[in-house]
Chain A
Amino acid sequence: MRILAVAQNTFREAVRDKVLYVLLFFASVTIFGSKALGWISIGQDIKIVKDLSLASVSVFGVLIAIFVGTSLVYKEIDKRTIYTIICRPMHRYELILGKYLGLAMLLAVVTVTMAAVATGYILLLGGSVNATFYCAVLLIYWQLLLITAFAVLLSSLTSPILGAIIVFMVFVAGHATGIFINLPPQFQGTISEKVLRWVYYILPNLSNFDLSSQAANSIAAPPGFVGWALLYGTVYTALLLALASIAFEDKDV
């Protein structure tokens, strides 16, 4: 119950944030403006609209997760409002989980809104949307949950600006993890190969949540892919939230 109360408060607070509406506005402009690119693409307008819609959900979702997530706990400490919370009969981890849940709810609303706008626009343009498109949206949301957990962890460890930079770097690196495993032949059998293989498994592999090529080209997702990706995201997110709770538990506020 206490977690839910914190979540509701966090959600209400985030909804009032003007940055959210600015980001949503730019996401909508990107989705609606994508048709213009389609005009010169030799019949690829619907594909481009789908690609840009999914990219908007991902990029603007990540921006919201980073900007709001990295300041979630830090703001409470900075404004000293944390004392009014932790003096109440609640565990610190409940605060972390509540804050996370509130932001996850906000991201769910944002993702569903953007997906609905994209669907309406694609249908209006005479295209069709199949199940793979929604699977891609679901995976993007799962990726946002993971990024948010990372942002919450950093929010309880460092300042929002530094946290935002680190989370953004993790976002970029998370999509480039394949580079650590597909090494040139000269790396074979070296220590570097082993180290980089470990890096591959330690970093969050965000390409696991990328189904945009199949969605934009209306191709079915590989069997089992979505289920395994959801499991991967759930376990990784749970780990990050546990680490965030431990870090905040030990934090001297």
Chain B
Amino acid sequence: MKRGGLIAVVLATAAFAVLVPVQWRIDSARQGGFDEELLYLPQKDLLKHFTAGLSGVVADVLWLKCIQYTTMHFKGDSKFTWLYQMCDMITTLDPHFTDAYRYGGIFLAAIKADDDSSLKLLRKGAAQNPDRWELPYEMAVVYLLNRRDEPGSAETAAMYLKSAVETGTAPRNIAEFAANLQSRHNLNDMEEAMWKEMRNSKDKMMRDLAERKLSDIALRSACAALTKAAELYKTKAGTAPAQLSDLVSAGIITGIPADPRGGSFILEPDGRVQSTTLLDALKERRLNQLRASLKLYHEQKGSWPPTLDDLKQSGVSGFVPSPPYAGQSWKYDPSTGIIE
């Protein structure tokens, strides 16, 4: 190496030997100053005008700061004083930054427990991006989780889920979740209207799903009508009908409706009428749920649980669902983990 080069290396080494510790000092002096740094950010409406066309990049940089800020306070004092302001500023700079609304809303609701700010941010996002299903979906989640004790929260959540499904881009499970929530809260009319609209979706899968769900609704309505007819029979005859054909013989109904999906209607011992099509579908869902829990147990413990109740006791599953058909029980083999 030439003499000049050697001098340059020595000088650089000496300089960095001073610069690095000085930087440590500056960093430690600045610790805790992150929040103050946010205080001095210009007003969001002004900032948008002074980014020289780089508002997207400034929004990205602020988003990275927002993640840092959230992580820092999550591990620290759990006070997220500036979280909403940051998300608001990011989304003012880039109004189509959907994930900033979404994750910002999740952070605010789930970590800060500030559902008002979360909903405010998500509503702003939904107004700017009406085609995105994620924003009404997250609003529904806030109503279901943070505001579950509030009267009417489930209905509001169902309404937001309906909006999410109406965008036509929501995944299938969200559409099913919306339908389940509605039926659980006796929102059949709303549910029916939602699926009727979905029948016009551009997506074939969504149209098929809508047809299937409308058929479910028709079967549930038929079950409800037949249950009422059985109650009427009991009132008139003084005894419960032995079979559904008794309702026809007694002239209460003109005939037993046909199930277009090949199932039949059965009279349960408690007097309720059920559709085998719906019960079979429910049984399959419960079986899938149990199989997933068994698999998780096996992964954790290395063996299958001796009984299904062990799933609950070990904390793998919150509850063990029973078969939907009255009088039936699961056939479970603890040596293979197979359940039927």
Contacts and interface: CB of A to CB of B under 8 A. Distances in A.
B96 A217 contact: yes
A43 B106 CA distance: 15
Given A213-B96, A217-B94, A219-B96, A54 B52 contact: no
B322 to A, nearest CB: 40
B57 A52 contact: yes
Interface stretch (A19-27, A65-73, A171-179, A233-241): A171-179
Contact of B99 (A42, A179, A206): A42
Contacts of A51: 56-57, 59-60
A203 to B, nearest CB: 12
Determine chain A's interface SS by DSSP, over half rule.
helix
B24 interface: no
Interface in A207-253: 207, 209-210, 212-214, 216-217, 219
A213 B100 CA distance: 13
Contacts of A216: 56, 94, 96
A44 B96 contact: no
Given A47-B60, A55-B57, A172-B50, A42 B94 contact: no
Contacts of A171: 52
Contact of A41 (B52, B57, B60): B60
Nearest to B100: A44
A207 to B, nearest CB: 7
Given A43-B99, A213-B55, A48 B60 contact: yes
A59 B54 contact: yes
Interface in B29-51: 45-46, 48-51
B95 interface: yes
Contact of B56 (A37, A55, A59): A55
A182 interface: yes
Which bracket fits the contact residues of B?
20 to 34
B238 interface: no
Contacts of A210: 53, 55
B64 interface: yes
Contacts of A52: 57, 60
B124 to A, nearest CB: 15
A40 B56 contact: no
B80 interface: no
B51 A175 contact: yes
A63 B94 CA distance: 24
B103 interface: yes
A40 B67 contact: yes
Nearest to A172: B52
A148 interface: no
A175 B55 CA distance: 10
B67 A41 contact: yes
A58 B54 contact: yes
A227 to B, nearest CB: 20
B42 to A, nearest CB: 12
B52 A47 contact: no
By CB atoms of chain B within 10 A, which of A40, A42, A209, A214 has the most? A42
A217 B54 CA distance: 15
Contacts of B51: 175
B63 interface: yes
A1 to B, nearest CB: 37
Contacts of B63: 41, 44
B97 interface: yes
A171 B54 CA distance: 12
A217 B57 CA distance: 12
A206 B53 contact: yes
Nearest to A217: B96
A212 B56 CA distance: 7
Contacts of B97: 47, 213, 217
Contacts of B56: 51, 54-55, 212-213, 216
A41 B57 CA distance: 13
Contacts of B96: 213-214, 216-217, 219
B99 A44 contact: yes
A175 B60 contact: no
A212 B67 contact: no
Interface of A: 37, 40-44, 47-48, 51-52, 54-55, 58-59, 143, 171-172, 175-179, 182, 206-207, 209-210, 212-214, 216-217, 219
A-B complex: 10 closest residue pairs judged by Cβ atoms? A217-B96, A176-B49, A51-B56, A179-B49, A212-B56, A175-B53, A55-B57, A175-B52, A48-B60, A172-B52
Given A40-B67, A42-B67, 8 more contacts: A52-B57, A52-B60, A59-B54, A176-B49, A179-B46, A210-B55, A212-B53, A213-B55
